[in-house]
Structure 1
Amino acid sequence: MKGIMKKTLIKKESLKDQVRTILLGKIISGELPPGKRLKIVPISKALDVSQAPVREAIQCLFTSGYLEHIPNVGFRVREFSDQEVRETYQVRHALEVASLQSLTEDPKALAAELDTHFTHMEQAVREENHAAYIHHNNLFHRSMIAASGNGKMLEVWEALQLPHYMRHTLSTLGLTLKTALPLHPPIIQALKEGLIGQAVKALKHHDDSMQ
């Protein structure tokens, strides 16, 4: 075995990435609401890190579209327009339909995976935990894209920043977690029965209700 395995350096997640993950989680959960200004010094003190990784993390979130920069003010959490949210969901629907129609795995296997995410969503509803619901709802829909085996499709889907839009949608449409939850089982059931066309119809009903 000697000489076969080369020494590999496993890098730990950088401070910048850790700070970015924390801030993104707070944005998605609503703890940092749209319009909230992100101040480097208070954040660095709260997280007990230097200002450099906080500054870099904020820049990453700005580049990703989660923040906006206001001259002479700084960075703040971006607020999305209703039109932008609607257009984003239209793109998501097209991607997810294309994914279901080009599955590379057994529909029943995908249904089992979606069922697992749905169980976590049910728990989040019982606990009235919006952040957990949005997280597992995102995983639910991501699984459909991943099941296509199309890496580029998944890359485009992830660039849509769907968790952030989800909170906006629930608020704008006046939806509650309890009213959003029942939109998912018909998709799972259709896949369990191997009925792709029916799953697409259930997905369309889901997406129409979220716009």
Structure 2
Amino acid sequence: MDNDGPATGMLRPQSLVELATDRLRSEILSGALVPGERLVEEQLTQRFQISRAPLREALRLLMEQGLVEHLPRRGARVKTYSDRDFDELFAVRHALERFALTQTGGRGLEGLDLTGVESSLETLRDAASRSDRLAASDAHRAFHLALVALAGNRQLLVTYEPVIVKLQLYMAANLRLEADTSSPIEGVRRHERLLDALLEGDPVRIGDELDRHGARRYFH
């Protein structure tokens, strides 16, 4: 599947705001729209064949998700984050994942529903085999959300999700570089090792795998 360019074609009028949000979100997280790229309303309304009102609401929702930003007198663009921002986001992600997994330790494996973790890992394997970058990115996010959900703490999950979505921008910006320097299967194996550590139930090994998994030199 090729995600190198924005999709074309008008949107069907079921929920124009939802559809415009989903289309733009997919294009941003696939790397088709890159950080800093301007989102020109006139061009987008023509491409999606919608009016300005639903487009502006879609852009507002994407701003809330941390994927779009508005610059005074310059309009909307794909959100840009500094290296320091990403360093801080990685640190927050790591801390929240460690905390989530400490909350699962007392229940044992018999008390955990690993269906979401295992299902997203299988989706990641499939996406990697097809070199589908957006599907792999989405499966990566689903894996980590399912991992944190094991803690059974709804507020923790609400806090964690915006962090992992923002970090997908980092992934999208580095997809081509990663494709040139590593095999997609390497990302799958990192997730497999993390799941194996969880199944083993050894907190030391889980911590070690989280440390290796979260290294900024790859985010996959």
Structures share fold, TM-score greater than 0.5: yes
Where do 1:37-56 residues align within 5 Å?
A: 37-56=38-57
1:100 maps to 2:101: yes
The corresponding residue for 1:79 is 80
1:15 maps to 2:16: yes
RMSD of equivalent CA atoms: 2.4
Residue 198 of structure 1: CA displacement? 1.8
Change (3 A) 1:101 1:119: same
Give the structure with higher Rg (CA).
1
Which piece of structure 1 moves more, 101-110 or 145-154? 101-110
Which piece of structure 1 moves more, 14-23 or 181-190? 14-23
Which piece of structure 1 moves more, 128-137 or 15-24? 15-24
Change (3 A) 1:132 1:106: farther
The corresponding residue for 2:218 is 210
The corresponding residue for 2:6 is none
Indicate if the aligned counterparts of 2:100 and 2:150 stay in contact, CA closer than 8 A.
yes
The CA deviation string for residues 160-181 of structure 1, in whole angstroms up to 9 with x for no partner, is 1232232235567775433333
For structure 1, the residue ranges without an aligned partner over 5 or more in a row are: 1-12
The corresponding residue for 1:199 is 206
The CA deviation string for residues 15-57 of structure 1, in whole angstroms up to 9 with x for no partner, is 3233112211110011111122112222223222222100111
TM-score (norm 2): 0.79
1:138 maps to 2:141: yes
One-letter identity of the residue aligned with 1:204: D
Q: Distance in 1 between matches of 2:161 and 2:218?
A: 18
One-letter identity of the residue aligned with 2:201: G
Q: Give the match's secondary structure for 1:135.
A: helix
TM-score (norm 1): 0.82
Indicate if the aligned counterparts of 2:120 and 2:142 stay in contact, CA closer than 8 A.
yes
Question: Runs in 1 of length 4+ with deviation above 6 angstroms?
Answer: none
Q: Distance in 2 between matches of 1:106 and 1:21?
A: 38
Query: Percent sequence identity over matched residues?
Result: 28
The corresponding residue for 2:168 is 163
